[in-house]
Amino acid sequence: MKFARIVFPLVMLAAPCVAQSVDELVAKNISARGGAEKLRAIQTISMTGTITFGDQNSPITVQIARPSKIREEFAVQGMQITRAYNGSQGWEAQKTEDAPQVRDLNGGELNNIREEAENAIEGPLLDYGKKGSKAEYLGKDTVDGKPVVKLKITTSMGTSITQFLDAETYLEIHQEIERSSEGKVVTIVEDVGDYREVNGVKFAHLFVSGSRENPKAVTLKIEKMEVDVPVDGAAFEKTSK
């Protein structure tokens, strides 16, 4: 009992320190990117680039708008794919020479695109508590020889995003993302880089991702990014075309 009386208060005192260290790391990441005020001020983003699946390349366009809206357009195996989320409803259109097939996204697919939309502008760390997420410090590690610190974000949907922040710059250089696929939770590993400043905020322009077994399955290169440009709200609504 004497041991318990000594240890228990020490544990209680240590808990705020752990929480504070998490928030300090989050603050350093947000500051490195340009600051919370600038990130929160961004209302829309428009991006164009190239996405590569193995030996197939496709142009890709992405439109993002607050609150939690996203639209992605790209091609794969001769099929034009459009995926979008309007803040409550997700849908996907597949278009070939025949009539397009449009379907609603449900279950894990809906949660996946909802999470993309919620974090598309500022990432999962800024205001994580207001988003219903929890963050915890997982310690130190290395990525390709670079020292990193790890933060795990558990989202309101129960999946997690583990971000590996460069220990020197505090910018994210790697992440492990849980996604739902065919009723199962899978982990996507992703290297992040080529940070460029856009209107005073740093955004990554290169993403290389895949499964643990095939971590370089998909490469996304952003060639042009614009913030606070006009985005038609109708772009996020379900269409039959």
pLDDT digits (tens, 9 = 90+) for 45-62: 999 999 998 888 999 999
pLDDT in tens, 131-152: 999 999 999 999 999 999 999 9
Count of structural domains, the chain: 1
Does any domain span residue 53? yes
Q: What percent of the chain has pLDDT over 90?
A: 78
Enter the tokens of residue 103. Answer: 């379907």
Instruction: Give the C-alpha separation, 175 to 31, whole Å.
Output: 19
Question: Which conformational region is residue 90 in: left (phi greater than 0), alpha (psi within -120 to 50 degrees), or beta?
Answer: beta
- Domain hosting residue 147, numbered range: 2-236
Residue 236: band (very low, low, confident or very high) from pLDDT cuts 50, 70, 90: very high
Decide if 38 is inside a domain: yes
Strand partners, 214: none
| Mean pLDDT computed over 79-105 | 91
Q: What is the dihedral of CA 210, 136, 86, 216, to 10 degrees?
A: -10
Residue 57: which CATH number?
2.50.20
pTM for the model stands at 0.87
Token pair in block for residue 210? 């895949």
What does the alpha-carbon distance between residue 127 and residue 156 come to, in Å, rounded to a whole number?
13
The confidence score (pLDDT) of residue 58 equals 95
Q: What DSSP assignment string belongs to 116-156?
A: HHHHTTT-SSTTTTTTT-EEEEEEEEEETTEEEEEEEEE-T
Beta strand extents in the chain (DSSP E only):
44-53, 56-65, 69-76, 79-85, 90-95, 101-105, 134-143, 146-154, 160-166, 172-181, 184-198, 201-210, 218-227
d(CA 202, CA 211): 27
Q: 79 lies in a domain? A: yes
Contact (CB, 8 A) for 148 and 165: yes
Q: Is residue 121 assigned to a domain?
A: yes
Residue 241 lies in a domain: no
Tell me how crowded residue 26 is: count the other CB atoms within 10 A of its CB.
Answer: 24
- Residue 240 pLDDT: 66
- Kindly report, residue by residue over 185-216, the tens digit of the pLDDT: 899 999 999 999 999 999 999 999 999 999 99
% of residues, the chain, pLDDT over 70: 91
Residue 18 lies inside a defined structural domain of this protein: yes
Which pLDDT does position 157 carry in this prediction? Answer: 86
